[in-house]
Chains A and B, each alone.
Chain A
């Protein structure tokens, strides 16, 4: 105890000493003069008023393509009108307004309006539509508010091949979601923000509505719990997240004080998904199954942030954030099987509650022109206050022994201390040295505590005026308390299993960057990364993981008329993991190699006449993954997972012709091609598995051609 006090006192005294020393030496404040210059060449009046651009045009897409629409939200074949507006208003008094409206009639509309009085207040209104598509499928189910039912003429059977499926049984659907995000925010500055004692208020409200159709697995009892059957479902999603943020920021002298209240309220329209069991092989009464959805929940969080500059060289940051997350959603019944005994639950709603505490403290001292030190402490504490109860043990409608299963409200405490020392030698370089110690304590886990020590060294060297390099090397070692399988988890976990996030691990990371800039026109970058994680004392689980990459990037800016870029990035990811099918020592090992090559090239060219500009860019990505499965024992006629490959090409060609000061004509041409081979030559359909009803799914392979032509008016 006494040693602890001595250690803490020592650190505290040293910090105080440094603080006072730095205060004494801070004599570098400016002594600027005020002036009343007039400016006859300044364009104050000429720049005031309303300016902007209106684009009116047409967008055409040659085909539907899920991979293309996954990123753009655009999956409708054919043409759509196009309207983009940008406008800016500024008056001589200080009132201003900005408007951006893009993709008005498409599925990814964006609107942003800013208005206010300079340095006094700002009102922001925005709308952002995020539309994403995942897969086109056909399903036998009809969906009515997440009650999924089979056709009336359905042939119940034990095996999918006996379902007598015909095209008329299927409903086509696209798995896709749309988020409509509305946000309004008000900023108010009570005083001139450049002066001391300047309070600043911010209030924002955001409503994020997500709707659409997503896929979900569903499992129900077959003859017994261990012969469960299942279906893939296309279920509706309708959820809303509201966020409120209120903040007061106050600057006085060298202090900055900020107080923040943040609330996030999540609500879901559907509290359950129920589905009809397509199999005749079922326990009595298991004609329908039901599963929960994410419960409504609320987060309230208060944050106090303090920053004190003791001088331009010494800074103290303190940040305390306390949150409370809770949900009290009514629990669904154990089962909706009419033949099952009606069982009482310990609670009708589990009244879950989690308290979070985040503390961050940093002391930074530029204690000389060449040396700098910062010390950081972080605490991330999550304490789950949910009541522990025993619930009947049902697995997919079958009551199992042991008859009770307890919930295990998980809590953890993550603390870290980080010290970083920076030295700037005379040769214009920089050397940094860091040490970080992390300790995590967890509840209900096979390992109660882990400790990790990380050390790193970084050196930045300006080799000449045109050449610089940076090298970083770090090594981390994680150990912890003994691995003891959690006693109440049944069936028991293999005691030889080491979960990768808590296992003993040595991690090495090396990074090298070279920047060559022979003149203002040319920049060449080379980045090399290597990382390796070696898991020790892991008889079963992840054994090692290795990452390496090389990136070469070139940018050449010849003039306003011509610029070009090119890059190539090759990365490789390897892992090796073991498992046990016989609940004993390892009996299989899987080695995975995932390689990705990305290539990008592009240019901008002003063609012949200044009024005509042409641009081109292209990206190509190729990925392949190879799995090699091996075993020392004869456990199955082992066959590795099939390789998969992905190729994505995006080509964009764009041109703009400036007709006169006000009018211009622009055209964008885009080509996107996606090809993958994920499961080699195996074709999947709804009946590919005997006891699991899949979707009829369609290949994602598709190419699409899009063109957007617009005439623009500048005002």
Chain B
């Protein structure tokens, strides 16, 4: 008996602790206690004493059944998870494989059976042993602490109907106990230091601050863009068109083609016909002889491609334009009248470029209209321009008399 226990002699008795020599002595004594009719006692040993369960008449634990349940649970969860996610909620085809097929689901199902079974074994093992249990009345006994090293104990609780301080001690000694001591309820308990508790509470409170701050920041309205902590590939170290680059003398990141380079779609051949150019300048003449067939062809093509916007007479009042104004399309710009001085004065080669490449809102017609037709259309446009800006001298003399005098 230790001095620690002497001081506590006045405290209420809660049991008797008896130490035995080894596993066999422990079993014999436990059998003796049971034969005498004791019911509230427990054996303690540094390693499992096989056979003591039978002596103590303990029922087999339900742990194996819990593990079986865990395994079934894991199986069910795994199958439902794989079926619902891949076949129902988010079905997608991969190499024509079925959305739900057992062979592909075996590995994950197997792993979850094991995982849930193992969690049941571990958690069930602890809970069924009433663990964690950080306080035990016997932990106050200094000798009891030897129990996890090499000592074998029987502890009889005061709650046992047969309990008697003297009688039970004698019985235990009779059953072979090396030592038997009455133990009392400890009056002082070694508590966790107050500073440690306060520190833990403070740490917990502080730990809440960052997630709270993040949550507030995420959901509160903000006038500035939110912090972008992970950039992914939003900002890449690369050159985009029209940027500054210190690598070149002209500080442009876009490089002009090397001398002699020919663009993929560059006109090759008669530049007058294909590009409307003569010696690099816009041509003032047509590349083909002007005939009435070409003029008629031009009129017809003009009606198809141009009149919808420019109008049948080239005034910029085509049906598309009229409709756009009727609908008050905010972005619509009335096409320039083909009779305005700025258009009339352009060389025909320049007009050819406009038809081929487009200008301002007008798209390119290079693809839709073959090159000969473009020239034919321009021929018709020239005729239209002449008709709208004609003077009396343009009219053959024999026909002038049909027109009212003084008309242009």
Bound pair (A, B)? no
What is B's interface to A at a CB cutoff of 8 Å?
none
